[in-house]
């Protein structure tokens, strides 16, 4: 990873938000991440967490929001946090559901969940893929 920068977006937690936020995150990361496979892994893990946040971001007032915050280049680490104003629920595993956090944990170096106010999931990735000789065209 090269450079230091931050991205923060807050929007309504509706299903189309996942695609928009993933697209914005891809644009942000494209500047810093040189390894296309690493980029796709980060987007997969982040997308799973975003989908969970949008699905579960329900607060009593009826106004549901989701926020994505990404920070690159701090100690060669990429940090992505997804927050919502909903309540975190540990649920029974349903068939063909419930793999989002498992996928994120398999990809990220660490996954931290804070449910103090709403739910905040922070993903940390080791950001050393810039050492590859991968070049991009277009």
Q: List the CATH number of the domain containing 32.
A: 3.30.565.10
Q: Is residue 137 part of a domain?
A: no
Going by pLDDT thresholds of 50, 70 and 90, the confidence category of residue 127 is: low
Q: Is residue 60 part of a domain?
A: yes
Q: Is residue 125 part of a domain?
A: yes
pLDDT over threshold 70, residue 66 = yes
Q: Residue 20: enclosing H or E segment and its boundaries? A: helix 15-32
Burial of 129 (0-12, 13-18, 19+ CB in 10 A): buried
Answer positive or negative: Cα dihedral of 101, 103, 106, 111: negative
**In the chain, what percentage of residues exceed pLDDT 70?**
76
CA distances from 137 to 27, 36, 42, 106 (A): 15, 12, 20, 29
Q: Is residue 138 part of a domain?
A: no
User: Strands, E, within the chain: which ranges?
Assistant: 5-12, 65-74, 77-84, 110-114, 119-126
pLDDT at 133: 35
Contact 29, 43 (CB under 8 A): yes
To the nearest whole number, what is the mean pLDDT of the chain? 81
Tokens of 10: 């807050």
pTM of the model: 0.80
The tokens 């940390």 sit on which residue? 124
pLDDT over threshold 60, residue 137 = no
Domain that holds residue 45: 5-131
pLDDT over threshold 60, residue 9 = yes
Tokens of 25: 């995150």
Return the higher-pLDDT residue of 11 and 74.
11
Number of domains in the chain: 1
């Amino acid at each position: 990873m090269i450079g230091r920068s931050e991205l923060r977006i807050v929007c309504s937690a509706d299903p189309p938000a996942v695609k928009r936020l993933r697209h914005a995150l891809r644009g942000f990361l494209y500047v810093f991440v040189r390894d296309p496979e690493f980029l796709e892994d980060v987007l997969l893990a982040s997308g799973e967490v975003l989908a969970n946040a949008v699905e579960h971001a329900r607060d009593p007032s009826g106004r549901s929001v989701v926020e994505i915050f990404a920070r690159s280049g701090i100690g060669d680490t990429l940090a992505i946090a997804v927050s919502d104003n909903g309540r975190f629920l540990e649920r029974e595993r349903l068939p063909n559901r419930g793999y989002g956090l498992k996928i994120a944990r398999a990809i990220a170096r660490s996954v931290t969940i804070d449910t103090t106010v709403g739910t905040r999931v922070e993903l940390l990735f080791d950001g050393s893929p810039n050492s590859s000789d991968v070049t991009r065209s277009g």
